[in-house]
Amino acid sequence: MCVCVVECQLGCFFSFLTSRWLRDNPSKAPSGDGGMDGGREGEGVEGDCGQKTRANSGLLILVPNPPSPSLTFLLRRPNSAEQANGLLSVLQKLKGTTESVELRIVLLGLDNAGKTTLLKSLASEDINTITPTQGFNIKSVASHGMKLNVWDIGGQRKIRPFWKKYLENTDLLIYVIDSADKKRFEETGLELEELIDEENLKGVPVLIFANKQDLATASPASEIAEGLNLHTYRDRQWQIQACSAVSGEGVQDGMNWICNNIVNKKK
């Protein structure tokens, strides 16, 4: 395939065609009041390329404007530098259409809330062999044109004091709650409240997954939201999403919320 670069002046091209046509058809050349000098029958019309046309007895004649250096149209083979620049331009455009928005996410919640299971579900990994997180896991998940760098930090009581050390430069907090463990609702609510008050999370959006909805004893997400007083969080975006990390139900809805409310604002 040959790539061509345009390089001759459009005005000269039209002038050449017009002169050739008039030479071959002298009897149809314009004259008198309807000629090139203008007249009532031949009002000038400005075209898209700055070419004027004059009509006389049904005849349409192109009158080129002075040549413009910006209009160029003859073919020649590009040199190696032009080929390289052209390829680079194409690659940059392709990169621009596929480039992901990158987010730093901290995944927190009490122990046994299902954080690691949720993370593996997001990454489409096997969830049959999961052990409690004693320290932290870091995983990059690509989804919806997003690159999510997720820090999954253990939720045991002895680890929670270290949560605040991982909050700097966080774009989103994902907080996971065991919807079926009503005895720990107060505890998880206090931990979430302390996180919201952290300076490094000031104004940071919060996505709360009300997990384990596949269990019969699970509380509805709306009830949990009321118990956690989420309506008082007026300094940030927040969303509570009912889900089951085991079945995957509701997980995709949470990802959609991230895409629509967080990612699109960063583009």
Show which residues are catalytic. 156
Helix (H, G, I), strand (E, B) or coil at 136: strand
What is the 8-class DSSP label of residue 218? P
Residue owning tokens 């209009």: 71
Is 112 marked as binding a ligand?
A: yes
From CA 65, how far away is CA 23, in angstroms rounded? Answer: 20
Does 93 count as an annotated binding residue? no
Annotated ligand binding at 95? The verdict is: no
Residue 11 phi, psi (nearest 5): -60, -40
Angle at 260 between CA 258 and CA 266, to 5 degrees: 80
Asked if residue 241 belongs to a known ligand binding site, the reply is: no
Instruction: Say which residue the tokens 């007249």 belong to.
Output: 39
Q: Is 170 annotated as a binding residue?
A: no
Is 114 labelled as part of a ligand binding site? yes
**Helix, strand or coil for residue 100?**
coil
Q: How far apart are CA 93 and CA 81, in angstroms?
A: 19
With b for 16 or more beta-carbon neighbours within 10 A and e for fewer, the 24-59 pattern comes to eeeeeebeeebeeeeeeebeeeeeeeeebebebeee
Q: Is 133 annotated as ligand-binding?
A: yes
- The label of the residue with tokens 């005005």 reads 11
Q: Is 212 annotated as a binding residue?
A: yes
> Helix, strand or coil for residue 206?
strand
Asked if residue 214 belongs to a known ligand binding site, the reply is yes
Tokens of 222: 């709306």
117 is in an annotated binding site: no
Was 213 annotated as part of a binding site?
Answer: yes
Binding residues for GTP: 109-116, 155, 211-214
Binding residues for Mg(2+): 116, 133
Binding residues: 109-116, 133, 155, 211-214
